[in-house]
Amino acid sequence: MRTLSSTLIDTENFTFTIDDFQSALSILEEIIMEQIGAERKKIKDEQIRTGRKVTIKDINQSYLDTLQKMIDLLPVFKNLYSFYSVYSHFVAFLEEEKKRYLHIYNSD
């Protein structure tokens, strides 16, 4: 019986290199930075439309939770030494983006 994974990927010949991993994380970084930009625009538009200052109460908690879940994955890579190093840099990026995101709601 063939499973979905065996249909999609020839697991015997499948390799996922550190470069592949880094490339995938780079794409995620771009998506996250675009999301921050979209949030900034949304906030600016909301302030113009309503005339009220957007506050910390307006945070997209789902977005923050997603960032935190990716951060919390770091221990999974602990014994995958080469991948751990790459992912730990990604986690540092995520932590910084969380700060930038929260700063949107604290800035004047």
Distance CA 91, CA 70 (A): 8
Distance CA 67, CA 104 (A): 16
Distance CA 26, CA 41 (A): 23
Residue 105 Ramachandran class (φ > 0 left, ψ -120 to 50 alpha, else beta): alpha
| Confidence at 1, pLDDT banded by 50, 70, 90 | very low
| Confidence at 48, pLDDT banded by 50, 70, 90 | confident
Distance CA 33, CA 35 (A): 5
More confident residue, 90 or 52: 90
> What pTM was estimated for this model as a whole?
0.76
